[in-house]
Amino acid sequence: MELTKKGMTREAIFERLAEFRRNDIKWQEGRTYGYVFDPGSEVMAVGKAAYNEFLSENGLDFTVFQSLLRLERELAAFGARHLRGDEQVVGNFTSGGTESIILAVKAARDCYRSTHPQIHVPEIILPATAHAAFHKAAHYLGVKAVTVSVDPQTFRADVEKVKAAITKNTIMIVGSAPSYAHGVVDPIADLAALAHEKGLWMHTDACMGGFLLPYFRRLGEPVPDFDFTVPGVTSISVDLHKYAYTPKGASLVLYRNKGYRKHQIFACSGWIGYTIVNNAVQSSKSGGPMAAAWAVLNYIGDDGYLDIARKKLASVKKIAEGINRIDGLRLVTHPDMSLISFTADEVNVFHIVDEMNSRGWYIQPSLSFDNSPAHIHLSVNASNVGWEDELLNNLAECVDIARKLPEGELVSLVKESLKGMDMAAISDSDIMNLMAAAGVSDGMLPSRMADINGVLDLLPTRVRETVLTVFVNDMFTQP
């Protein structure tokens, strides 16, 4: 992009922006099962208006912008109450689940640094279903992520395996409520009891479920305790920009008390300039997401959220039952909330995804990992309610079509060449060649992704990560 000499008109700018968006998924149609949590245009308009009102306020200094201090305190207090904490519970607003998780890991690391200086490389124990954000946090913070398999039937964390992974360097145990991939709630009470017994930090990742599960409980669903009522739970991450339907950039990280939260805060006066004291990772940050979150929570209100939850629950049950009735498909496990994972033992799931997506749906492919098969993921949100029959009919049709599609030539080729290949020696140019053969060029992906997903699925995790890095490094270049 080159700057225009005299600037563009407002009209021309918005025309161009609309053009940029032309090939995006059409999430507004209600057939997108991920990425966008859409409460409908009326609620969105309230969120956008509040966002705009506070767009320019800067969360860098909450003594100057006392409105933001007020908003953050109110939102954290709401989170503490929603997750049944007492008056000791404190928390902060962050830009999303990943930031909340990075902060909780940092707090745990620094807390144990102060009490256990002999631990040089702290370890956090992650059931294989813990979100990738914990691996990112570990990577950024010099902490070792120790992954343990989950139960192969329920896909919940296996407490005995977690126990066996504890070493003298362990500082934290993580449980999900629910996990993203399979949508099941880990045995948080047992994990927290183990953490308590061993003197470890227990984090519940309730980014997905922290807001919604309490509503499902009120609707009579058997939701296990995962919040501050569970002794031993030290911190919880809960996103607002997911099932609270607030505009993106909205999550909370909560701690049982200030003694733990203290380790999250970063202060710096060792430079020439203004004094820095940050609760979160970002320094300068717009007040927009916070004001929008406050506005949407209050606009929808408790009855409104209960009503949305009721509809969503009915939708999830209908979809889950319907999937099990489709010849060739099966649920990977029964969902505890609104995240559904299903697979096909004799049909290529990646072909099913391509077929569905070419019909205007967005459903998400997931690679196999550890004891979990390659599968398809749906995050059901308010805007999907009412589409169940059409989704199931289309799925049945796509399974039949996918059943007849051959395995891609590339997948067979890679399968062959993987035999006897030294994965450690794979170079960036090998990867570029592989991608070119799969139809990836100039950072552009082919419209059908089954071959690429099929190849990725064959590769060991570290090689997959290298491929993704090479690809993205190539994608974000000058247009």
Ligand X SMILES: Cc1ncc(COP(=O)(O)O)c(C=O)c1O
CB of 266 to ligand X, least distance (A): 19
Using the rule CB under 6 A, give the single segment among 116-124, 149-157, 203-211, 459-467 that binds ligand X: 203-211
User: Is the distance from CB of 374 to CB of 343 less than 8 angstroms?
Assistant: yes
In sequence order, what are the beta bridge partners of 268?
A: 276
234-273 mask for ligand X (x: CB under 6 A)? -----x----------------------------------
CB of 180 to ligand X, least distance (A): 3
CB of 412 to ligand X, least distance (A): 33
Q: Is the peptide bond before 178 cis (omega within 30 degrees of 0)?
A: yes
In sequence order, what are the beta bridge partners of 376?
A: 342, 365
For helices 288-325 and 388-404, angle between their N-to-C axes, nearest 10 degrees = 60
CB atoms within 10 A of CB 306: 15
- Pick one of 92, 170, 176, 204: the residue that binds ligand X (CB under 6 A): 176
User: Which of the residues 81 through 100 are near ligand X (CB under 6 A)?
Assistant: 96-98
How is the chain split among helix, strand and coil, in percent rounded to 5?
45, 15, 40
Nearer CB in complex with ligand X: 96/287? 96
Nearer CB in complex with ligand X: 91/454? 91
Nearer CB in complex with ligand X: 208/402? 208
Q: What tokens does 153 get?
A: 């039937």
Nearer CB in complex with ligand X: 246/394? 246
- Residues belonging to the chain: 479
Nearer CB in complex with ligand X: 32/176? 176
User: Which of the residues 121 through 140 are near ligand X (CB under 6 A)?
Assistant: 131, 133
- Can residue 402 be called a binding residue for ligand X (CB under 6 A)? no
Nearer CB in complex with ligand X: 203/448? 203
Contacts 24+ apart (CB under 8 A), 318-326: 318/388, 319/378, 319/380, 319/388, 319/391, 319/392, 322/388, 322/391, 322/392, 322/395, 323/392, 323/395, 326/392, 326/395, 326/396, 326/399
Q: Which of 323, 342, 322, 340 is nearest to 332 (CA)?
A: 342
User: Is the distance from CB of 440 to CB of 471 less than 8 angstroms?
Assistant: yes
CB of 105 to ligand X, least distance (A): 12
Q: Which of 254, 248, 202 is nearest to 84 (CA)?
A: 254
- Can residue 205 be called a binding residue for ligand X (CB under 6 A)? yes
CB of 446 to ligand X, least distance (A): 26
- Pick one of 83, 145, 207, 295: the residue that binds ligand X (CB under 6 A): 207
Rounded to whole angstroms, the Cα distance separating 48 from 406 reads 46
Q: How many residues sit in the footprint of ligand X (CB under 6 A)?
A: 11
Residue nearest to ligand X (CB): 97
CB of 67 to ligand X, least distance (A): 24
CB of 419 to ligand X, least distance (A): 36
Rounded to whole angstroms, the Cα distance separating 264 from 255 reads 10
Nearer CB in complex with ligand X: 96/289? 96
Residues of this chain that bind ligand X (CB under 6 A): 96-98, 131, 133, 176, 180, 205, 207-208, 239
